[in-house]
Amino acid sequence: MEYVIAVVEDDPDLLEVLEYNLQKEGYRVFPFERGEQFLQFMSEGVKPHLIVLDVMLPGMSGFRLAEIIKGNEAYRDIPVVFLTAKTLEEDRLKGFDLGADDYIPKPFSVREFLARIRAILRRYYPQTGKVLEVGDLKMYPERFEVLCRDKRVELTRAEFKILQTLLERKGEVVKRSTLMDALAPFGREATSRTVDVHITKIRKKLGRCGEYIKTVRGVGYKVSNE
């Protein structure tokens, strides 16, 4: 599984070191030197698995950025790690009060930094639980996560539920009426057209894994890699 990590650090040398070492660990890294750049990243709907924030950023501070992150419904459950030269107890407590999962004082060793990152990722994303899969497509219902060729795919909850319904019946033809029922908890009046639109969007988001969703004309859909 490829984890996505966003790092906001205004020191370009340190940012380069962190990016390099995180990539060596197999993570996909999005580096930013300012909080405003990260907010633009958020507005594009990209969700990392973990966010690393320097506290003393130019303009918007790391603490203020954390407040915005934790106030965003789509981002509030993403773990946050603070990096800072501010080591007073009151500063550490403020960081934890803002929802930080760790607070790493500068200077720090890269090895310790990576170890802490691994520990947080293991805690938030345990590699256990039910797995639904077909070919290169995997779904972890308990973690609300979908992977295509080990790349994370972002789906809405309605799209996730439709795909889950299909994967739970892998190889079987699932009627449109069944998929319409799956959308009922989302408070919307589902129709056959609604299902078809969702399927189109799911296929597009899945990329090559979208080929596993087969149309059965006049009936519905099925998931198969045959």
pLDDT digit string, tens, across residues 56-113: 899 898 889 999 998 998 888 899 999 887 665 666 677 677 778 888 888 899 999 9
3-state secondary structure 40-103: HHHHCCCCCCEEEEECCCCCCCHHHHHHHHHCCCCCCCCCEEEEECCCCHHHHHHHHHCCCCEE
* Rounded CA separation 214/117 (Å): 39
**% of residues, the chain, pLDDT over 90:** 53
pLDDT value at residue 127? 62
Q: Which of 45, 57, 42, 77 is nearest to 8 (CA)?
A: 57
Tokens of 179: 């998929």
Per-domain residue ranges of the chain: 4-124, 132-223
Under CATH, which number does the domain 4-124 receive?
Answer: 3.40.50.2300
Whole-structure pTM over 0.75, yes or no? Answer: no
Q: How confident is the model at residue 46 (pLDDT cuts 50, 70, 90)?
A: confident
pLDDT value at residue 188? 59
pLDDT value at residue 91? 62
Under CATH, which number does the domain 132-223 receive?
Answer: 1.10.10.10
- Asked if 84 and 57 count as a contact pair (C-beta separation under 8 A), the reply is no
